[in-house]
Copies of this chain bind each other. A is one copy, B any other.
Amino acid sequence: MSTVRPHNAPAPNLLVGRFSALAPLDDQERKALQLLENKTQHVFQHDTRVLRQGVEIHTPCFIVGGWASAEWQLHDGRRQIVQVLVPGDAIGLNVRARPVSLTHVVARTDLRTVEASGIRSAWRDRSRMPGICAALDLIESEYEFFLLTHMTRLGRQKAYERTANFILELDYRLSARGLCINGSFAFPLTQETLADVLGLSVVHVNRTLQQMRKDGCITLQGGRMTILNREALTTAGDFISPARFMTRAAPSDLPGIV
């Protein structure tokens, strides 16, 4: 089933795969997701703005190919990327009435998306497609989880730690979508973009990556990242998988407060 595909193409049934991993879907729900992927795809060119901060979101969508970034700008040009969006991620999808985009969204590669208005209304119903709703709840929860890790990275971790942690986040998210094989995945971000993700300067990102290569932790060449030493990265980056938060069980081994 996993034949060679063109570089930027999504795995077959990207969305079905992701959703059904999170919650059991009935045939109708599965079919609804499958139809989505066959829909007309919107295409955005590399470096194009997908969504503008402050505008009302009329058509939420899913990314089916390419990467994007959600970002915040300061008036003097500094920018912070608050979220890196990969295939399978939603753009502008939430339950709220009359949602407004809180960030700019920019295509970081050529980008293909499919409209998800139907999914949004199903989510609001909370009864018509319970499996999809459950999965969306978890997706939103995971999204928030990564926002919080990202904040901790920026506020309290050193360059090397941030980078390690972020690489593992990508590994985790891409794996869940079948876009990561043996800790190896396409990594189309420039070091400048990565700098805006990690809150560092380009120069320092470069040096940090080199250190990581020297340490035998990763490979990064030709737009492909490979994790060579997951243990070392996990320790250095203090990475916690969100998996444990996605289930009912209350974890007991989290770092506690006194």
Contacts and interface: CB of A to CB of B under 8 A. Distances in A.
Interface of A: 49, 52-56, 72-76, 78-80, 82, 95-100, 102-104, 106, 124, 126, 133-134, 137, 140-141, 144-145, 147-152, 154-157, 198-199, 238, 244-245, 248, 250-251, 254-257
Contact of A95 (B54, B95, B99, B106): B95
Contacts of A152: 72, 74, 80, 82
A73 B255 contact: yes
A80 to B, nearest CB: 4
Contact of A102 (B82, B100, B141): B141
- Chain B CB within 10 Å, residue with most, of A74, A82, A106, A245: A74
A122 B133 CA distance: 18
Nearest to A162: B155
Contact of A82 (B148, B245, B250): B148
Given A141-B102, A257-B49, A151 B75 contact: no
Contacts of A248: 56, 98
Contacts of A144: 102
14 contacts: A53-B254, A54-B250, A55-B250, A72-B152, A73-B256, A95-B95, A96-B141, A102-B141, A103-B148, A104-B257, A151-B151, A151-B154, A154-B154, A156-B199
Contacts of A56: 248, 250
A100 B141 contact: yes
Nearest to A250: B55
Contacts of A103: 148
Contacts of A76: 238
The winner among A155, A157, A245 for most chain B CB atoms within 10 A is A155
B106 A257 contact: yes
A25 B76 CA distance: 41
A8 to B, nearest CB: 23
What are the nearest 3 A-B pairs in CB distance? Answer: A155-B199, A154-B154, A80-B152
Given A73-B255, A74-B152, 13 more contacts: A52-B250, A54-B254, A56-B248, A72-B151, A72-B152, A78-B157, A82-B148, A82-B151, A96-B140, A97-B134, A102-B148, A104-B257, A124-B126
